[in-house]
């Protein structure tokens, strides 16, 4: 982003890939807090409940999709679990200390220029890819997507950017986000010729 360095602060990163974790943790201008997994942003009781709701061994496609739907509804029903001020566990920079999940703007900002809080994310794309057999709601990584979705749908960001696979089902993002945000879908490049094209939704909060 082409803005003066003093205008920009990276508050929190989250990535399950070890190389990405190392790059962000060691970068001089990297995030102040770095979490290794989206589940580190959730309270432990919430993670335990998600574990209880996960599909059983031998469940068919419909059964797995139903279990992931229940997990999604649970996460989206109680947005207080992901509000600013909540703490995450296992920050790679601060060890066992619990660290804030969301940056809170200072209360006494001078002038009329208020800081923006922005989330850039590329949550799991496996449910909508060849590698994930296009299983959509039946894919085991849907719980990761829904944990991320609940986090951004809670409404504490001014703008949210999502990048995902060409086969991504836009409704999964649009429906929960549209309660608080204006949701846009943007395709970079030709839809029919660029298999690696990106999908991006920009959301602007109308109600905060």
Residues that bind Zn ion (CB under 5 A): 33, 91, 93-94, 99
* Closer CB to Zn ion, 9 or 77, in the complex: 9
* Closer CB to Zn ion, 92 or 143, in the complex: 92
Shortest distance in whole angstroms from residue 93 CB to Zn ion: 5
Under 8 Å between Cβ of 53 and 45: no
Cα–Cα distances in angstroms (integers) from residue 45 to residues 39, 75, 106, 205, in the given order: 11, 12, 30, 29
* Closer CB to Zn ion, 58 or 95, in the complex: 95
Shortest distance in whole angstroms from residue 97 CB to Zn ion: 7
| Rounded CA separation 174/38 (Å) | 20
Shortest distance in whole angstroms from residue 149 CB to Zn ion: 23
Which contiguous run of DSSP H or E holds residue 181? Answer: strand 181-183
| Rounded CA separation 17/37 (Å) | 9
Shortest distance in whole angstroms from residue 91 CB to Zn ion: 3
* Closer CB to Zn ion, 91 or 152, in the complex: 91
């Amino acid at each position: 982003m082409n803005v003066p360095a003093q205008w920009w602060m990276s508050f929190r990163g989250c990535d399950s890939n070890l190389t990405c974790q190392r790059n962000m943790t060691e970068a001089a201008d990297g995030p102040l807090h770095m979490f290794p997994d989206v589940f580190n942003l959730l309270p432990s009781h919430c993670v335990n409940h998600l574990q209880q709701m996960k599909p059983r061994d031998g469940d068919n496609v419909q059964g797995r999709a139903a279990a992931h739907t229940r997990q999604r509804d649970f996460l989206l029903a109680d947005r207080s679990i992901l509000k600013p001020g909540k703490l995450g566990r296992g920050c790679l920079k601060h060890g066992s200390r619990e660290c804030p999940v969301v940056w809170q703007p200072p209360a006494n900002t001078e002038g009329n220029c208020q800081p923006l809080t922005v989330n850039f994310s590329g949550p799991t794309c496996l449910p909508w890819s060849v590698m994930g057999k296009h299983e959509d709601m039946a894919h085991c990584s849907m719980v990761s997507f829904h944990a991320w979705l609940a986090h951004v749908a809670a409404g504490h960001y001014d703008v949210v950017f999502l990048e995902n696979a060409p086969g991504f089902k836009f409704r999964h993002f649009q429906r929960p986000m549209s309660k608080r945000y204006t949701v846009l879908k943007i395709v970079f490049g030709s839809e029919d010729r660029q298999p690696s094209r990106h999908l991006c939704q920009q959301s602007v909060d109308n109600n905060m």
